[in-house]
Copies of this chain bind each other. A is one copy, B any other.
Amino acid sequence: MSHSAAELAKYLEAGLSGNRSAQISGVASPERATASDLIYVDSERHLGRAEKSAASCILARPGTRAAGKTIIEVKDPKLAFAKAAVWLLPAAAPAPGVHSTAIVPPTARLGASVSISAYVVLEDGVEIGRNAIIEPFCFIGRGARIGDDCRLHPRVTLYAGARLGNRVEVHAGATIGSDGFGYVPGDGRQWKFPQIGSVEVGDDVEIGAGATIDRGSLESTVIGKGVKIDNLVHIAHNVNVGEHTVIAAQTGISGSSTLGKNVVVGGQVGIADHCTLEDGAVAGAQAGIPTGKIIRSGQTVWGTPARPLDRFKQQYAWFARLPELAARLRKLEDAQGNR
């Protein structure tokens, strides 16, 4: 499907300079663009790439000009590019319907226009909202609920009772609602603490490939609306993640920790149990946050054990100069010895 530059400018509530009827049907990087691909320029530095591009239409800051190009003028070109892509490129989706090999018990309730692919297994009492897409090898356990417009890529597993909101996208191989890791030692062995809580995922969440989110032990594990979780992230029982928080790949969050809204967690971060990251806190990649620690709103931390970024950098600068400090200390000692 193709749109004119004028239609796109209208959709983005943006100004336009150039050819109003330039046709746009895709998005691309400047180097890969054809005439009908939209590109964006985020800074003056990259304007040359855009000018050399075959693209006829560019998202750029107001006032930007490029010879022979149509400019759609926006304050945040990268954001506008992301919005335009959603509008121009609806995700390829299988046709609605239930494949003959899907196992759908009579107690399952399916919304209108759902797509249930081959080799999907639904257990008793499952509910799936309208327009949801369930790809092959997904398993939806007893009583689990999936909202409207969700997409589960191949081999996603929801354990019994797990609940997803609307417009949730879960990538291949993610597991939601597995038992938490809780044991009580006694009689020379480990006794499993009951892991019978639920897991609730809010609207507009995206969950990466291979990620695991455990059910609560006695309470619930809660993922707030708009949260974005990268590949191979682990979220333990009873964790609570606030709205629009972003968690990068391979991070692990231990039991009963709470993340506020708009928290940003880098990759491979380890958050121990019972921690609190207040709204807007930031944890740098590989940071390790010890048990019970509170990271204040808006604070950025790094290192293991995690500390405020400025402090960490200062300390680390001296760490790098330790051999020099030691030599200076030796020199003072020698001077004293010689006195």
A209 to chain B, nearest CB (A): 4
A312 nearest in chain B by CB position: B320
Interface centre among A82, A153, A206 (most CB of B within 10 A): A82
A199 vs chain B, min Cβ distance (A): 12
Q: Is A67 on the interface with B (CB-CB < 8 A)?
A: no
Binding stretch for chain B, among A1-9, A43-51, A186-194: A186-194
Q: Are A82 and B329 in contact (CB under 8 A)?
A: no
A314–B326 Cα distance when bound, in Å, is: 11
Chain B interface: which of A16-24, A106-114, A126-134, A173-181?
Answer: A173-181
Interface residues of A in 256-288 (CB under 8 A from B): 267-268, 270, 272, 285-286, 288
Residue pair A329, B323 in contact (C-beta under 8 Å) = no
Q: Is A79 an interface residue (CB 8 A)?
A: yes
A189, B244: Cβ atoms under 8 Å? yes
A270 to chain B, nearest CB (A): 5
CA distance A169 to B191 in the complex (A): 13
Q: Which of A118, A172, A244 is most buried by chain B, counting CB atoms within 10 A of its CB?
A: A172
Residues of chain B within 8 A (CB-CB) of A209 are 157, 175, 178, 212, 214
Could you tell me if A246 and B190 are in contact, using CB atoms closer than 8 angstroms? yes
- 15 further A-B contacts with Cβ under 8 Å, apart from A175-B231, A319-B322, are A82-B186, A82-B193, A89-B196, A103-B118, A117-B121, A137-B137, A137-B155, A153-B157, A175-B209, A189-B226, A210-B210, A212-B232, A234-B249, A252-B267, A329-B332
CB neighbours of A307 from chain B (8 A) = 320
**Does the CB pair B154–A157 fall under 8 Å?**
yes
B315 near A323 with CB under 8 A, answer: yes
Q: Which residues of B contact A153 (CB under 8 A)?
A: 157, 159, 178
Asked if B27 and A194 make an inter-chain contact with CB atoms under 8 angstroms apart, the answer reads: yes
CB A38 to nearest CB in B, in angstroms, measures 10
Question: Hey, which bits of chain A sit against chain B, CB under 8 A?
Answer: 27-29, 32, 76, 78-79, 81-83, 85-86, 89, 92, 101, 103, 117-119, 121, 135-137, 139, 142, 153-155, 157, 159-160, 171-173, 175, 178-179, 181, 183-186, 188-194, 196, 204, 206, 208-210, 212, 214, 218-219, 226, 228, 230-232, 234, 236, 244, 246, 248-250, 252, 254, 267-268, 270, 272, 285-286, 288, 290, 303-305, 307, 311, 314-316, 318-323, 325-326, 328-329, 332-333, 335-336
Closest Cβ–Cβ distance, residue A57 to chain B (whole Å): 15
Whole-angstrom CA separation of A218 from B89 in the bound complex: 13
> Are A184's CB and B79's CB within 8 A?
yes
Cβ A288 vs Cβ B285 within 8 A: yes
* A to B CB contacts below 8 Å, 28 in the list: A76-B186, A81-B194, A85-B194, A89-B196, A92-B160, A119-B137, A121-B137, A135-B139, A139-B155, A173-B212, A178-B209, A181-B230, A188-B244, A189-B244, A190-B226, A209-B214, A230-B234, A232-B234, A250-B250, A267-B272, A268-B288, A315-B319, A318-B322, A318-B323, A319-B319, A322-B322, A332-B336, A335-B336
Partner of A328, one of B79, B248, B286, B333: B333
Quick check: A231 and B27 within 8 Å, CB to CB?
A: no
Asked whether A196 lies within 8 Å of B27 as measured between CB atoms, the reply is: yes
With a cutoff of 8 Å between Cβ atoms, the chain B residues found around residue A322 in the complex are 314-315, 318-319, 322
